Copies of this chain bind each other. A is one copy, B any other.
Amino acid sequence: MTMYVVGHKIPDSDSICGAIALAYLKNQIDEPAIASRLGELSPETAFILDKFGFEAPEFKESYAGENVYIVDHSELTQAPDDIAQATIVGIVDHHKLGDLTTSTPLECWIRPVGCSNTIIKMMYDFHNVEIPKDIAGIMMCAILSDTVIFKSPTCTTADIKCVEALAEIAGIEDYKALGMEMFKVKSAVEGTPVRDLVMRDFKDFNMNGNKVGIGQLEVIDLAVFDDIKAELAADIAAMKNEGERHTMMLLLTDIMKEGSEVLVISEDDTLIERAYGKAPTDGKVWLDGVLSRKKQVVPPLQDAFA
């Protein structure tokens, strides 16, 4: 039975490139697979697919009765809405272990590295399958994106070695320049509706029974937000109410200054100070050195909720 390989809702480059790369690998080892996606491509991902000549994976929201291989998360809230009616045959991920469960044995390739595509490279190596040049290219870009060109504290030596190996396969000499080009695409916010910006890389988390939404925008210079910061703040307040969320946060991450300005609105104003040791002023706080939602933002917040 053919499996669908699909990343999380509001897919990022790791979810999309990972689905394409893993579906290709599975087909090579006689496990028929189709890459799919749960949402629109971000400009960054569109740039990557265009650069290496790929179409977007099939848009598919319903998976009842299907076999599904999950990429880049293990959370119910990030999975297809009808995942309970599907059979999860595998998970490849690099986050904390979430609340997905299964009723049958499966494979999980979960590692504490910077990107799911680094693990997918390990899967290629395990199965001794050669990575095509164009697939190496999109895998490499996904890793450069997730690790913020190696600047993120989530980046491991495994990620760096993996990028180097993939760059060689893809025939890319200056992969850091390509990474910067990618982040320039990501930094273009002009003309994009505010809600689209907030949702571009957005995840809901269940923290001790409370729904917490955290979006992140990574740019080369925070000045791009100067004219729209008030609108962004108003929009996360609206999303807090619409989604009955306890807390909404938007991380405006400056990858050159290596820190994030956090816009926040919460039922509990003391939460942010408890989590990060610094209280917001007018719903804003600068967190120096904070680049990673997964490693630097979520765990302290989860502890503050516990």
Q: Which A residues contact B (CB, under 8 angstroms)?
A: 74, 88, 91, 94-112, 122, 126, 154, 294-295, 298-299, 302-303
Contact = CB atoms under 8 A, between A and B. Distances in A.
Among all A-B residue pairs, the 4 with the closest Cβ atoms:
A108-B110, A105-B112, A108-B108, A97-B102
Contact of A104 (B88, B96, B109, B111): B96
B96 A105 contact: yes
A107 B103 CA distance: 21
**Number of this chain's copies in the complex:** 2
Contacts of A96: 101-106
A65 to B, nearest CB: 14
Given A96-B104, A106-B112, 14 more contacts: A74-B97, A88-B97, A91-B108, A96-B106, A97-B101, A97-B102, A97-B108, A105-B110, A105-B154, A107-B110, A108-B108, A109-B109, A122-B126, A126-B126
A107 B111 contact: yes
Contacts of A74: 97
A299 B99 contact: no
Nearest to A88: B97
A301 to B, nearest CB: 10
A118 B95 CA distance: 25
A294 B105 contact: yes
Nearest to A96: B102
A303 B106 contact: no
Contacts of A154: 105
B97 A299 contact: no
Nearest to A294: B105
Give the one of A96, A98, A105 with max B CB within 10 A: A105
Give the one of A94, A106, A303 with max B CB within 10 A: A106
14 contacts: A91-B97, A96-B101, A96-B104, A96-B105, A97-B106, A99-B99, A103-B298, A105-B112, A105-B154, A105-B294, A107-B110, A108-B108, A108-B109, A122-B126
A303 B103 contact: yes
A303 B84 CA distance: 12
Given A108-B108, A108-B110, A101 B99 contact: yes
